[in-house]
Chains A and B, each alone.
Chain A
Amino acid sequence: MEKLVLLGDEAVALGAIHAGISGSFSYPGTPATQIQEFIQRVAKDDIRCHWSANEKAAYEEALGVSYVGRRALVSMKHVGLNVAADPFINSAITGADGGLVVVTADDPGMHSSQNEQDNRFYAQFAKIFCFEPSNQQEAYEMTREAFDVSEKFRLPVMVRLVTRLAHSRANIKAGKGRKENELKPTDDLTRWTVLPANARVRFKELVEEQKELVRYSEESPWNELHLSPGAEVGVIASGIAFNYLIEALSFISLKVSYLKVNTYPLPLNKIKQLISSVSELLVVEEGYPLIEGSLRGLLDCAGIKIRGKMSGDLPITGELTPDAVYRALGGKERSYPVNLSFELPVRPPMLCPGCPHADTFTALKDALADYPNARVFSDIGCYTLGFLPPYRAVHSCVEMGASIGMAKGAAEAGLYPSLAAIGDSTFAHSGMTGLIGAAKNNTDMTVVIMDNEHTAMTGGQDTMATGDRLVELVKGLGVDPAHIRVIVPLPKNRERNADVFREEIAYHGLSVIISRRECVVAARKRKEGGEKR
């Protein structure tokens, strides 16, 4: 046994490496990024693990590996699965040949995200098996097991992490690795070709297979039922919430029976056993009240008093904490007395000193001074911080790639000037598709691509198209080369850059301005060499 200190993300990565994956696929996104980075760091020579253009591409690449009988990991942040939802849902119809495991790292509390969607619902929706580890050791072991389960049922399997597991380190013990599968392209072409006639058969099979998944979950030792004789209170605690339960119980003398839930579909018989032995049930789960809602049903007729997020005993938004679970169990407030003589100001994240985006925004704002109606649709990246003072330079942010589509829609509905601000990585992720339509229609809008040569927000990963390659790409999408301008965002170029913005805004057609300068943090990292963290 090898003893290690790993992030939850890294434990998943090591589990996958030891499960004999041939490929690992991902697009950077907090809190999932460190899964792929770990594989790149320790197994680059053996496992294909470069970044994909987006999560959909990553999922499809993984699916291709599974098709040829080999094992693949695909990892992403929770909202990444929205991008990959099409291949994800349909991969439950095709099923998997080589083990296919999709890791979703959810972000309750929105530390670095635009929502706190709970992707356990996606597993339910696609009708696939899902593991939800409670700690780093389980993250390692369950990821390994997930590959076996995938091959056993010939279905993709989900591993669901949350930020506090993904980005928390702990000691783990690891076993020995397994070899990768032999190359064996599938012979089951009907299964892998989802023509309606084929898919109808497969969907029926998938529905029938659900019984087997439930049975596996029921028999899984991960779902530990602990009955404490005479306990009035029962607790169902899933994933990381189980840790908070154990922590809270160390501060409170309360006898409880509990069921630790780590797999889905839910182990129904164990739940029934727990419910029949107690008079009150508390459900603690990180994310949406999936378990609580399932138990209540529409008619709330489980026949037992259920407490949880839906009853208001636990907060229904934000991140779960050991304190919240402690209070839900009846614990009294434990807190150091805080009597500050001033109001603590919030300290929001901001653009780094010397950031090229800051210079892009100042020049852009100069140019827009004459256009009070102008709107700048922004995208997902460091530059979204341009919304905050002192810049206040962008006016929306929805999801990856939204800037270009929204600017086009708004322009076509009559907005002038309509601008989009997007980074080089996000552009390759899903800005290109929007731009191809704007080019075809020569929409009267101005797109600013902020090329800082990296996926900066997640730690400076390589991007698909930067520098000249990006210019060629924009040309290739059909944008008039006369209206593709490249500027260098520096304080000394402010006036000149503002003029470029003015000229292209004045042009009533599609313009693309590429504002190109390397991310200062990535540049420093490159010069100083590697860091331990």
Chain B
Amino acid sequence: MKKDIILAGVGGQGILSMAYVIDEAAVESGFNIKQAEIHGMAQRGGAVYSHLRISSSPIASDLIPKGSADLIISIEPIEGLRYLSYLAPDGILITNSSPVRNIPNYPDMEKVLGDILSLKKHIIIDAESLARRAGSFRAQNMVMLGASSAYLSLDRELLKKYIGELFSPRGEKIVELNLSAFAFGERIGRFYALLLEEGVPPLSAFLLSSKIEAGEALTESVDLWGKLLSSRAEEFVPILKEFSGEISPRAEVPKKLLGLSLEKVDKEEIFSILAG
């Protein structure tokens, strides 16, 4: 087992907290780790990254060589792209779509999303809105950890255990909040990946997964959504864009929509179906 991971984000987003959880879970699983991080001047609201290596054999370098990272986990869309050269040919970028615009020349968001969506292997989710739904804007790191959990080759219960350890000094409520953020990220990340597997175009998959409620039964509706969006994307994408509420995760929603011919139905009615 070998996993080379680059964690990326902006100072203050909680890269080191993410690293803590992965490190401890990996070590408890009996693996070797090396994890290089950034402190001091380099941290204050600037670009931050960490190289995290997990292996069952000894690890030589603290830094990951270019072209060899199994995954990049990024809490900020352009920060993940910053380290793209480190990705292995079959590596995956798992990124938040919400930008941190603390620089005057932040690039055009459509171009940023376009570049991410065109990557061969990627997962993109709106961690900011999921973190808010979990109870705090600051839990975006745990959302992204959740979205990455299936790619770490680590027991998710161990990850959850160390999320508990990490936040326990701040009280039970904060622990719960971060565990929900983790669960939301896990579900939406998986939902997005499954949509792509169903042949849904990335943009449609992203639109749907950023608006759907992160319910437990979410993945049950994936094949129906897949059918709907891979065959009738042109019809539904404008509606998804326009819909401002939270889409119900229940399987009846895509089932009902599949039976509808959009020209004949009022937009308000479609919206009410989406809301469940």
Q: Which of B38, B60, B106, B111 has the most CB of A within 10 A?
A: B60
B: contact size bracket: 35 or more
Report the minimum CB–CB distance from B248 to chain A (whole Å). Answer: 35
Beta-carbon nearest neighbor of B68 in chain A = A334
Provide the residues of chain A in CB contact with B36, threshold 8 Å: 164, 167-169
CB pair A169–B61 under 8 Å, yes or no, is no
Provide the residues of chain B in CB contact with A459, threshold 8 Å: 39
Cβ of A43 under 8 Å from chain B: no
CB pair A350–B63 under 8 Å, yes or no, is no
CB pair A457–B41 under 8 Å, yes or no, is yes
Q: How far is the CA of A414 from the CA of B51 in the complex (A)?
A: 51
Q: How far is the CA of A515 from the CA of B28 in the complex (A)?
A: 48
Q: How far is the CA of A333 from the CA of B68 in the complex (A)?
A: 12
Cβ of A335 under 8 Å from chain B: yes
Cβ of B154 under 8 Å from chain A: no
Provide the residues of chain A in CB contact with B79, threshold 8 Å: 347
CB pair B169–A111 under 8 Å, yes or no, is no
CB pair B45–A350 under 8 Å, yes or no, is yes
Q: How far is the CA of A322 from the CA of B68 in the complex (A)?
A: 11
Cβ of B201 under 8 Å from chain A: no
Beta-carbon nearest neighbor of B61 in chain A = A247
Provide the residues of chain B in CB contact with A121, threshold 8 Å: none
Cβ of B27 under 8 Å from chain A: yes
Provide the residues of chain B in CB contact with A168, threshold 8 Å: 34-37, 51, 62
CB pair A112–B39 under 8 Å, yes or no, is yes
Provide the residues of chain A in CB contact with B78, threshold 8 Å: 344-345
Q: What mask results when residues 515 to 533 of chain A are scored 1 for a CB within 8 Å of chain B, else 0?
A: 0000000000000111111
CB pair B10–A347 under 8 Å, yes or no, is yes
CB pair A533–B20 under 8 Å, yes or no, is yes
CB pair A532–B17 under 8 Å, yes or no, is yes
Q: How far is the CA of A333 from the CA of B36 in the complex (A)?
A: 23
Cβ of B1 under 8 Å from chain A: no
Q: Which residues of B13-44 are within 8 A (CB) of A?
A: 16-17, 19-20, 23-24, 27, 32-44
Which of B84-92, B124-132, B232-240 participates in binding chain A?
B84-92
Provide the residues of chain A in CB contact with B102, threshold 8 Å: 347, 350
Provide the residues of chain B in CB contact with A167, threshold 8 Å: 36-39
Which of A149-157, A185-193, A238-246, A294-302 participates in binding chain B?
A238-246
CB pair B46–A350 under 8 Å, yes or no, is yes
A: contact size bracket: 35 or more
Q: What mask results when residues 112 to 130 of chain B are scored 1 for a CB within 8 Å of chain A, else 0?
A: 1011000000000000000
Cβ of A348 under 8 Å from chain B: yes
Cβ of A326 under 8 Å from chain B: yes
Q: Which residues of B173-203 are within 8 A (CB) of A?
A: none
Q: Which of A33, A251, A322, A343 has the most CB of B within 10 A?
A: A322
Q: What mask results when residues 308 to 345 of chain A are scored 1 for a CB within 8 Å of chain B, else 0?
A: 00000000000001110010000001111011111111
Beta-carbon nearest neighbor of A30 in chain B = B40
Known: A336-B87, A352-B12. A322 touches B63 (CB 8 A): yes
Q: What mask results when residues 27 to 48 of chain A are scored 1 for a CB within 8 Å of chain B, else 0?
A: 0001101100000000000000
CB pair A247–B107 under 8 Å, yes or no, is no
Q: How far is the CA of A351 from the CA of B43 in the complex (A)?
A: 10
CB pair B33–A349 under 8 Å, yes or no, is no
Q: How far is the CA of A233 from the CA of B42 in the complex (A)?
A: 38
CB pair A246–B65 under 8 Å, yes or no, is no
CB pair A531–B59 under 8 Å, yes or no, is no
Query: Can you list 29 A-B contacts (CB < 8 A)?
Result: A5-B33, A31-B39, A111-B38, A111-B41, A112-B39, A167-B38, A168-B34, A168-B36, A169-B23, A243-B61, A243-B62, A247-B61, A322-B63, A334-B67, A338-B81, A339-B115, A342-B115, A343-B107, A344-B78, A346-B103, A347-B45, A347-B46, A347-B47, A351-B44, A352-B12, A382-B44, A389-B104, A532-B17, A532-B166
Chain B residues within 8 Å of A, Cβ to Cβ: 10-12, 16-17, 19-20, 23-24, 27, 32-47, 51, 59-68, 78-79, 81-82, 84-89, 91, 102-108, 111-112, 114-115, 165-166, 169-170
Beyond the given A112-B42, A170-B33, A336-B89, please list 7 additional residue pairs across the A-B interface where CB-CB is below 8 A. A170-B35, A171-B33, A345-B105, A530-B169, A531-B169, A532-B17, A532-B166
